[in-house]
């Protein structure tokens, strides 16, 4: 019933973009198709030390003393086991480049709907680029308060052709963000007692998939009755994320939702499903979601990094041997895993359930 109601009101709304809906003068409530209720009792107290978000100083990994590097690698074990999330600071990507990337994405979302629609494409996640609203209008049971676009920037670099500066800014930003992500995968390999290039080689990251995925969340009149992106885990290895001055990302920690806040210009870093599989569940793919607010537009840019499409991912034999464990997950080709996750059946559910031994 709820589904039918949602479908009808979606039809009545003729959603082209959440941006134009949010800007329509008549909007004073949230259309029922967007119905989602946030439970304030599930939210974490950010002042409770239990919810102090781990910070990783990347400069100590790249140019610290050997002792400083090993201390960070040691800290990473606990961070990846207990949180699957941290904020990377002093990562070397210039603040001006991060700001320019956000501005350029803002420029794209500010184009008229007809121009943005030129970038609509099929539903294959490995499409060169894709623009849309919600998640997948054909499958959604309720709608999401966001517009988005995704561009594949590695192994081959693709770009939007509007706005004019997009290609130049996104190429430089993607390259610099990739360096940070690869440094993180080296440190994570070492934290597992493996050689630094272990993950890079085992996951064929030379041809690894990297996306640039921007989200646009306009102000919402009743933010507790809508959601930007509901709870999910990312399918790759590790995702970096930046945002404009508005908060909204929440990560699940100890059964509560914690709104991420931290030093400006840090990268928010979350571990994703292939990392959990590779480490046989030792490291955690963190559940997260994006909430909306009633004050100002939030823009976030996620940069997910994964294996190459044809990599078969399974728990690392070296780790199983070291820890004396049996594999907890079945081996699966990365592309098939993505297709399974995006098929709609698994939306907001854990794709792990399908591959747990």
Ligand X SMILES: O=C(O)CCC(=O)C(=O)O
Judged by the rule CB under 6 A, the positions of this chain that interact with ligand X are 213, 215, 229, 234, 241, 248-249, 288, 290, 300, 302
Question: Is residue 252 close enough to count as binding Fe ion by CB under 5 A?
Answer: no
Binding-site string for Fe ion from residue 55 to residue 84, where x marks contact by CB under 5 A and - marks none: ------------------------------
The first and second tokens of residue 65, run together, are 């003393």
Burial code (b: 16+ CB inside 10 Å, e: under 16) for 43-54 equals ebeeeeeeeebb
**Candidates 79-87, 110-118, 230-238, 306-314; binding stretch for Fe ion (CB under 5 A):** 230-238
Looking at beta carbons only, is 174 or 215 nearer to ligand X? 215
Question: Is residue 273 close enough to count as binding Fe ion by CB under 5 A?
Answer: no
Shortest spacing between CB 196 and Fe ion, in angstroms = 26
User: DSSP states of 11-41 as a string?
Assistant: HHHT-S-HHHHHH-TT--S--GGG-----GG
Shortest spacing between CB 217 and ligand X, in angstroms = 7
Using DSSP's 3-state secondary structure scheme, residue 104 falls into helix
Shortest spacing between CB 69 and ligand X, in angstroms = 29
Q: Which helix (H) or strand (E) holds 229?
A: strand 229-232
Q: Which residue is nearest to Fe ion (CB)?
A: 234
Residue 265 region, left (φ>0) first, then alpha (ψ -120 to 50), else beta?
Answer: left
The entry of ligand X, Fe ion, none that residue 292 binds, CB within 5 to 8 Å by partner kind: none
Shortest spacing between CB 61 and ligand X, in angstroms = 24
Near Fe ion in 232-251, by CB under 5 A:
234
Residue 239 region, left (φ>0) first, then alpha (ψ -120 to 50), else beta?
Answer: beta
Peptide bond into 155 cis (omega under 30): yes
**Candidates 178-186, 212-220, 231-239, 251-259; binding stretch for Fe ion (CB under 5 A):** 231-239
Shortest spacing between CB 128 and ligand X, in angstroms = 18
Helix segments in 47-124, DSSP class H: 58-63, 66-82, 95-109, 113-116
**Candidates 97-105, 185-193, 229-237, 271-279; binding stretch for Fe ion (CB under 5 A):** 229-237
Looking at beta carbons only, is 189 or 250 nearer to ligand X? 250
For residue 269, CA distances in Å to 84, 118, 229 come to: 8, 31, 17
- Site for Fe ion, rule CB under 5 A: 234
């Amino acid at each position: 019933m709820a589904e039918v109601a949602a479908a009808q009101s979606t039809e009545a709304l003729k959603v082209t973009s959440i941006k134009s809906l949010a800007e329509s003068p008549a909007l004073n409530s949230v259309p029922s198709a967007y119905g989602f209720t946030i439970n304030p009792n599930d939210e974490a107290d950010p002042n409770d030390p239990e919810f102090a978000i781990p910070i990783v100083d990347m400069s100590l990994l790249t140019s610290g003393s050997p002792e400083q590097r090993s201390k960070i690698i040691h800290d990473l074990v606990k961070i990846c086991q207990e949180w699957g999330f941290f904020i990377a600071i002093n990562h070397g990507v210039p603040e001006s480049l991060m700001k320019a990337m956000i501005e350029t994405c803002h420029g794209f979302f500010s184009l008229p709907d007809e121009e943005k629609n030129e970038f609509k494409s099929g539903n294959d996640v490995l499409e060169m680029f894709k623009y849309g609203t919600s998640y997948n209008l054909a499958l959604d049971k309720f709608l999401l308060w966001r517009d988005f676009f995704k561009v594949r920037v590695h192994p081959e670099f693709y770009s939007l052709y509007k706005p004019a500066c997009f290609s130049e800014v996104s190429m430089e930003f993607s390259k610099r963000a990739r360096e940070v992500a690869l440094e993180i995968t080296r440190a994570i390999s070492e934290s597992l007692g493996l050689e630094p290039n272990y993950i890079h080689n085992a996951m064929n990251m030379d041809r690894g998939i990297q996306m640039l995925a921007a989200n646009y969340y306009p102000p919402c009149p009743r933010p507790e009755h809508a959601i930007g992106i509901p709870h999910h885990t990312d399918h790759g290895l590790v995702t970096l994320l930046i945002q404009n001055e508005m908060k909204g990302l929440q990560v699940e920690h100890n059964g509560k939702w914690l709104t991420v806040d931290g030093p400006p210009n840090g990268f928010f870093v979350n571990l994703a499903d292939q990392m959990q599989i590779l480490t046989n569940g030792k490291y955690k793919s963190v559940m997260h979601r994006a909430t909306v607010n009633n004050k100002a537009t939030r823009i976030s840019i996620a940069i997910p990094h994964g294996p190459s499409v044809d990599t078969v991912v399974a728990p690392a034999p070296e780790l199983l041997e070291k820890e004396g464990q049996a594999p907890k997950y079945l081996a699966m080709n990365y592309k098939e895993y993505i297709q399974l996750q995006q098929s709609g059946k698994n939306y907001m559910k854990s794709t792990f359930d399908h591959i747990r031994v």
